[in-house]
A and B are shown apart, each in its own frame.
Chain A
Amino acid sequence: MTKKIRLDRRDFLIGSAAAGAMIAAPTIVRAASKELRVLAWEGYAEPEWVEAFKKETGAEVKIVYVGSADEMFAKMQGSQGADFDVVSFDTSIFSRYLDANLLAPLDLSKIANAGNIAPEFREVKEVMRADKQFGVPFAWGSLPMVYDADAFSTPPDSWDVMWNPEYGQQLICMDDANNCITWGALVVGVDNPYNLSDDDFARVKEKLIEQKKLLLSYFAGFDEGVNMFAQNSIKVMYSMGEPQVPALKNKGINAALTIPKEGAPGWLDCWTMSAGATDPDLAHQWINTCLAASVGEILTNKAGYGNTTNTDVNKAAGFTYGDKLSWLQQAENYEKRVAVWNEVKAG
């Protein structure tokens, strides 16, 4: 015999209220203490400075890492910024965030360490809108040429080396529509590689199709590029970034990087404050912590990115070519870039 459990409406309501309170309890408790919600790339919230920040402010830190710029934007747009307090992304997509009203302006007077920022990163126009500053530069890097130093007595000084049939099937290139079109535009010498005319697109496409014939393959990810380079006696690649060089050295390849005379794309990541930040003072404190010279040192020596605050460390690590880079900007038309890149790959 089974006993039937009957629930009337009142029991149900009381029960649900109790259950609801139990579920909400941790949130209520947590809301009383301070919490900072970080949305960033891996390497931008390392224990070395997160622990110091926690101790200093007594706040908890909740970090969410993402794998792509699109994912990051989607997370911010999904909550209109309410899910995060501080976010880091690169200057080329600032206008997308600003247009969607996802950022709050910063008060530099609350960021004492802003004085540490090196002169070349102080006047970045992309982070400004209507005289308000929405971001502070934190980390930078490039999409350089990486080459096998055993094959070249002096570093190649021009991207032309990747159009040289002598190195046919010993070249690889990343598979990325925007970065490859920008690269092609730099090589053919377009004035503004982020604002191409139809004519420019045609020239870039032709140039890239010509180059494709000499490529062994495109690579889709960071490690993929390293493995492909190491396994196939590759001589030169259009690289995804500086950290590929130490990764190749770990595999016994005498790899080195250079920025050829045509230039190379560079990216500059900034810390920003979300429009939905619950505790703006805490967010400012976080940005201040990140701009300490000691953090810049860890960022460069551990993650392998250039920093914006510690010039000596940058110099020692070889990050001396910021002036040769073409800083990525919002491009004229991303759909068009993807279409042209598809035509290159199908051509």
Chain B
Amino acid sequence: MPRTGPRWLIFAAVAALPALVILVPLGSFLAMSLAHAEKHQIIYDWTLRNYASFLGNWTYLSTFLGTLWLCLEVVLLSLIVGYPIAWYIWRQKSWKRYALLQIAALPLFMSYIVKLYTLRSMLGLNGLVNQALVSLGILEQPSQVFLYNQRAVLITMTVIYLPYVVLPIFLSLERIPRSLLHASTDLGAGGWDTFRRVVLPLSVPGTIAGALFAFVLALGDFITPQMVGGTTGFTIGRVIFSQFGLAFDWPFGAAMAAILLLVALLLIVTAGYAASRRRV
């Protein structure tokens, strides 16, 4: 039997680094959210007034709710696009499957900013999307509707976060034992019935994980709205960002970030609970 002493030590050694680089900064910004700024000095007086002023400010609160709504739209759209992609990859045989999987994961190797610039030039007035639509005769002339609005933010975020949705869904599909599919066929279920009653329910945990990734990433993204959102791309991330420059209201920014973190955590816990109940 292993002694408990050394095991504890090993655990402490392994946990020290994550604690240092994750928990300490988190703790410091939670502490910051309870301070207040005065004349470029931060005074730690353990007050909740930053939280109160956020909840009492309709501009920020409605921006926050609008951002949550936008993130839900991103999740929905990326599931609608991502699930069929994952399913299609999963249906392929041998090398083809992994080649497609590689391609689906390829955007993860590219810088986020590069992807943003690429998408922006594609969606722009003289971009690929407009050129294609005009040459196909769908549009008579290039349109500005694809860029500098909320729709652009939605499209861009969905494209950028798609790999984070496809991969977990694929993984949960791959974990489904082939025998279950054979059994379903043997029992006379058609392709659609097998999908609806076997594949779909068993892939729920991966789907929830993918949806969570998309939601949390979209929630914290303050660059995409700025780059492609035009005058309507104002999200809570921009509000938080604005507290750290000229305003020098770090405590208020930290409080809003803490609320964002809380919402994300709450969602992760709820979704994790839902996913674990689904597990067979």
Contact = CB atoms under 8 A, between A and B. Distances in A.
A345 B226 contact: no
Interface stretch (B13-21, B170-178, B246-254): B246-254
Contact of A346 (B63, B229, B246): B63
Nearest to B37: A335
Given A233-B125, A342-B59, A346-B62, A217 B242 contact: no
A237 B207 CA distance: 45
Contacts of A2: none
B101 interface: no
Given A177-B242, A346-B234, A335 B125 contact: no
Contacts of B245: 68, 70, 338
B60 interface: yes
Interface string B245-276: 11111000000000000000000000000000
A235 interface: no
Given A335-B247, A335-B248, A346-B63, A217 B124 contact: no
Contacts of A212: 231
Contact of B59 (A175, A213, A232, A343): A343
Interface in B38-65: 40, 59-60, 62-63
Given A215-B231, A216-B230, A345-B238, A338 B246 contact: yes
The interface size bin for chain A is 20 to 34
B247 A334 contact: yes
The binding surface of chain A is classed by DSSP as helix
B144 interface: yes
B148 interface: yes
Contact of A169 (B144, B229, B234, B246): B144
Contacts of A25: none
Given A177-B242, A231-B125, A338-B242, A345 B148 contact: no
Nearest to B40: A96
B243 interface: yes
B246 A70 contact: yes
Contacts of B144: 169, 216, 232
The interface size bin for chain B is 20 to 34
Contacts of A345: 231, 234, 238
Contacts of B62: 346
B102 to A, nearest CB: 32
Given A169-B144, A343-B59, A217 B246 contact: no
Contacts of B249: 335, 338
Q: Which of A233, A335, A337, A347 has the most chain B CB atoms inside 10 A of its CB?
A: A335
A218 interface: yes
B246 A218 contact: no
Contacts of A218: 226, 230-231
A178 interface: yes
Contact of A338 (B124, B125, B247): B247
20 contacts: A68-B245, A70-B246, A175-B226, A177-B247, A215-B230, A215-B231, A216-B144, A217-B229, A218-B226, A231-B124, A232-B125, A334-B247, A335-B249, A338-B243, A338-B246, A341-B242, A342-B234, A342-B238, A345-B231, A346-B234
Given A70-B246, A178-B246, 15 more contacts: A70-B248, A175-B226, A215-B231, A216-B230, A231-B124, A231-B126, A232-B125, A334-B248, A335-B247, A338-B245, A338-B247, A342-B59, A345-B238, A346-B239, A347-B59
Interface of A: 68, 70, 96, 169, 175, 177-178, 212-213, 215-218, 220, 231-233, 334-335, 337-339, 341-343, 345-347
